[in-house]
Amino acid sequence: MTAFEAGADAGGAVRITDTDAAGRGVGRTADGLVVFVPGLIPGDLALITVERRRKRFAAASVKRLVEPSRDRALPLCPQFGCCGGCSLQNMRYAAQARLKERQTREKLLRIGGVRDPLIRPVVTMDDPWHYRNKARYATDGANVGFYAAGSRAVVDAPDCPIQAPPANALAGVLRRFVAFRRQAGAGDFVRGLTVRTAFGTGEVMASLSVCGARARSCGAERLFPAMDAALSALPRAKNGPPYRLKSLVVESDAESGAVFVAAGRGAITERLWDLRFELSPRSFFQVNPAGARALGDLVAAYAAPRRTETIFDLYCGAGALGLRCARAAGRVVGVESAASAVADARRNAARNGIKNADFICGPVERALPALLAREKPQTVILDPPRAGCRAELLAAVAVAAPARIVCVSCDPATLARDVKCLAAAGYAFAEATPVDMFPHTTHVETAALLCRANARGECAGPR
């Protein structure tokens, strides 16, 4: 007996009521079986075919769309449904935002145990297209694009509508290059291309991933003129600077992962708020600059920094959130396990003249106890990876008794789990605000504020 019972059977008509993390429509058959159906959105009524069945749920496919949802939209991308990137392009943008806000609320209620959680309206993007400042393309020697969902097959993507124009332009240069080499019968040594665009300055970095043996001698610098010309031909973004290729680097796909500067500089500069950030090939930076600005403003409002107070920024990455708060705070201490990110954070503090921010390199779970032995924060910012925080870390934070904890999460389910853990340690959920950092996908970023609880288990500070 396999995990799934294989073989198609009629599932009847199903009304879709939700989507899962993969963007599949979720509904129930007449006999109560939960079904997951790719291509459907909430409000759709469809005849389905059950493809694989378990005891309580099944994977299904669409046989016929009987009644389309009023929230249906025509996908802008011709690769929609093939590429593994976007899964909600067939839903109106306003409906996507409502869905993410509702799912955030439901997870805090169901998983986090928060009664009547205060969820502020989701922060949406003025323009939900061409918002990504980083694109990672794969190539198989014939196509340049993105992996198909659940596969390593490369789907050619000549004009991805969520990528910044420089990414599409430079992918076109690589597409012509691999086609030329294929026609010439030359070897295939390029594995991929990563393009970073600094929206605030117009500076662009191209990173070629090549097979290890060819990393230093691949001649990548010969692509610089063609890439530079492709960017020069692009119109300016509205109220934005012209695009300029400032960096072409080569990354080895060997285990060493060495990085070489082929032409230009080894980093580009981004401007966000009144700060300037240096972005190296492996720097972590939010992929949506408009969303990053909104998220940072939210975190600063929740953290409410004061000149007499210390803020701990845990899992700080390149320090963007802590540096956003630093000028209004007494002191900011960031902790991050990635050495390259800590180096970026220190450089970013120095280049912005911020002298009250320190950054510690090490696993947060190990570094925090020693840090707490020296000083106690009034505010803690938690911005962990998607898996959330470990229980022992949350316990250590609670013992330090900061007045405020600001949680930032890209997964409402793990956010809700962490909120529940902090509630057991004496903290009450005050409010949360989702930020639609990733339009046309199921992902959402959320900032939440927790305060020390009073005797009734409510937030001791103003809600």
- Active-site residue identified among 160, 325, 410, 421: 410
Residues 319 and 343 both lie in one domain: yes
Burial code (b: 16+ CB inside 10 Å, e: under 16) for 280-291 equals bbebbbbbbbbb
Q: Of the residues 230, 251, 279, which one is the last residue of a structural domain?
A: 279
Q: Tell me, what CATH number does 251's domain have?
A: 2.40.50.1070
Query: For residue range 357-393, what is the model confidence (pLDDT) as tens digits?
Result: 999 999 988 899 989 989 999 999 999 988 888 888 8
211 is catalytic: no
Residues 34 and 56 both lie in one domain: yes
Q: Picking from 113-127, 301-315, 358-372, 442-456, which range would have the lowest pLDDT averaged per residue?
A: 442-456
- Residue 151 has a pLDDT of 85
Residues 257 and 294 both lie in one domain: no
- Residue 2 has a pLDDT of 34
Rounded to whole angstroms, what are the CA distances from 430 to 322, 370, 445, 459?
21, 29, 17, 6
Let me know if residue 73 belongs to a domain: no
Query: Which amino acid is present at 395?
Result: A
Query: Tokens 């990053």 appear where?
Result: 292
Let me know if residue 196 belongs to a domain: yes
Let me know if residue 25 belongs to a domain: yes
Q: Of the residues 222, 257, 279, which one is the last residue of a structural domain?
A: 279
Let me know if residue 29 belongs to a domain: yes
Residues 176 and 226 both lie in one domain: yes
Rounded to whole angstroms, what are the CA distances from 8 to 28, 64, 176?
17, 15, 43
- Residue 259 has a pLDDT of 81
Q: Domain count for the chain, please give it.
A: 3
Residues 182 and 263 both lie in one domain: yes
- What span, in angstroms and rounded, lies between the C-alpha atoms of 59 and 52? 5
pLDDT higher than threshold 80 for residue 11: no
What is the domain range of residue 151? Answer: 134-279
pLDDT higher than threshold 70 for residue 188: no
Residues 417 and 323 both lie in one domain: yes
Query: For residue range 404-425, what is the model confidence (pLDDT) as tens digits?
Result: 999 999 999 999 999 999 999 9
Let me know if residue 185 belongs to a domain: yes
Let me know if residue 82 belongs to a domain: no
Residues 49 and 159 both lie in one domain: no
3 state SS for the chain: CCCCEEEEEEEEEEEEEEECCCCCEEEECCCCCEEEECCCCCCCEEEEEEEEECCCEEEEEEEEEEECCCCECCCCCCCCCCECCCCCCCECHHHHHHHHHHHHHHHHHHCCCCCCCCECCCECCCCCCCCECEEEEEECCCCEEEEECCCCCEEECCCCCCECHHHHHHHHHHHHHHHHHHHCCCCCCEEEEEEEECCCCCEEEEEEEECHHHCCCCCHHHHHHHHHHHHHCCCCCCCCCCCEEEEEEEEECCCCCCEEEEEECCCEEEEECCEEEEECCCCCCCCCHHHHHHHHHHHHHHHCCCCCCEEEEECCCCCHHHHHHHCCCCEEEEEECCHHHHHHHHHHHHHCCCCCEEEEECCHHHHHHHHHHHCCCCEEEECCCCCCCCHHHHHHHHHHCCCEEEEEECCHHHHHHHHHHHHHCCEEEEEEEEECCCCCCCCCEEEEEEEEECCCCCECCCC
Contact assessment for residue 332 and residue 300, using Cβ atoms and an 8 Å cutoff: no
- Residue 67 has a pLDDT of 94
Angle between helices 412-424 and 93-110 (to 10 degrees): 30
Residues 297 and 210 both lie in one domain: no
- Residue 223 has a pLDDT of 86
pLDDT higher than threshold 90 for residue 134: yes
Residues 141 and 241 both lie in one domain: yes
Residues 39 and 142 both lie in one domain: no
Query: For residue range 385-402, what is the model confidence (pLDDT) as tens digits?
Result: 888 888 888 998 998 999
Residues 166 and 271 both lie in one domain: yes
Let me know if residue 176 belongs to a domain: yes
Q: Tell me, what CATH number does 410's domain have?
A: 3.40.50.150
Rounded to whole angstroms, what are the CA distances from 399 to 67, 135, 426, 460?
54, 41, 9, 17
Query: 209: pLDDT confidence band, cut at 50, 70 and 90?
Result: confident
The pLDDT of 58-64, averaged and rounded, is: 92
Give the residue among 100, 124, 94 at the shortest CA–CA distance from 290.
124
Query: For residue range 15-30, what is the model confidence (pLDDT) as tens digits?
Result: 999 999 889 999 998 8
Q: Picking from 67-81, 165-179, 206-220, 268-282, which range would have the lowest pLDDT averaged per residue?
A: 206-220
Let me know if residue 81 belongs to a domain: no
- What span, in angstroms and rounded, lies between the C-alpha atoms of 50 and 430? 43
- What span, in angstroms and rounded, lies between the C-alpha atoms of 201 and 195? 15
Return phi, psi of residue 125, to 5°.
-90, 140
- Residue 280 has a pLDDT of 86
Query: Which amino acid is present at 10?
Result: A
Residues 298 and 442 both lie in one domain: yes
Return phi, psi of residue 179, to 5°.
-65, -40
Non-local (6+) Cβ contacts of 213 within 8 A are 254
**Token pair for 169:** 């332009």
Query: Which amino acid is present at 370?
Result: A
